[in-house]
Amino acid sequence: MKSKKTKVSPKAVLIILLIFAIGYLVKMSIDEYKSQAEAMGIVVCSEEGCIKTMHIHSDIEFDLCGQSLTLPRETGPLSGLHTHKEKNYLHFHDEVQLNSDTKEQLFEKRLSIQEVMEIFQIDAGSYCGDSEVKIRVLVNELEPQEGLGYNWKDGDHIKLIFEAQ
């Protein structure tokens, strides 16, 4: 018995491919929109004030009296400053307070370089001995006026430097 071969129409194949391509583009657009909203955060205001939800990342390197440091992975509270599997990559996702009038972010200790030092127990004595130490912070190759109080932002490249005097 001969089997009957079904001929697939090139037009049908083209329509199926077009449907898949449109579906893929729609999915990619939705994913891009979500990732932008996540990076920018969502602002919510009420009578009590304004908050912004944040999910941000920043890389950090260390020059501690000539020694480098690799942060421990999977460390810190998930509702604040923490690390995951990436080397020296800070993560933060939680709410932060905003100025109700200007919608500018208020100082957030959990985003300060000082908090990085506290959570990961980085102290000058462990790296520089009994020497007097000057602590410097560079953010995107510039020294911020706030020093250790600088609130890091998404995409910042941070360098913490201990210099023996």
Q: What is the CATH number of domain 41-164?
A: 2.170.130
Domain map (residue ranges) of the chain: 9-39, 41-164
pLDDT-based confidence at 117, cuts 50/70/90?
Answer: very high
Q: Which tokens in the block code for residue 28?
A: 């990619």
* pLDDT greater than 90 at residue 116: yes
Residue 149 CA to residue 151 CA, distance in Å, equals 6
* pLDDT greater than 90 at residue 150: yes
Q: What is the per-residue pLDDT for 40?
A: 63
Q: Mean pLDDT, to the nearest integer, of 115-119?
A: 92
Q: What is the DSSP string of 104-158?
A: PBPP-GGGBHHHHHHHTT--HHHHHTTS-EEEEEEETTB--TTGGG-B--TT-EE
According to DSSP, the residues that pair with 133 across neighbouring strands are 164
SS3 content of the chain, % helix, strand, coil (to 5): 30, 35, 40
Q: Element (H or E) spanning 93, and its range?
A: strand 89-98
* pLDDT greater than 60 at residue 38: no
Q: What is the per-residue pLDDT for 42?
A: 84
Q: What is the pLDDT of residues 125-143, one digit of tens each?
A: 999 999 999 999 999 999 9
According to DSSP, the residues that pair with 60 across neighbouring strands are 158
Q: What is the pLDDT of residues 82-110, one digit of tens each?
A: 999 999 999 998 889 999 888 888 888 98
pLDDT-based confidence at 33, cuts 50/70/90?
Answer: low
* pLDDT greater than 90 at residue 78: no
Rounded to two decimals, the pTM is 0.70
* pLDDT greater than 70 at residue 32: no
Q: What is the per-residue pLDDT for 1?
A: 59
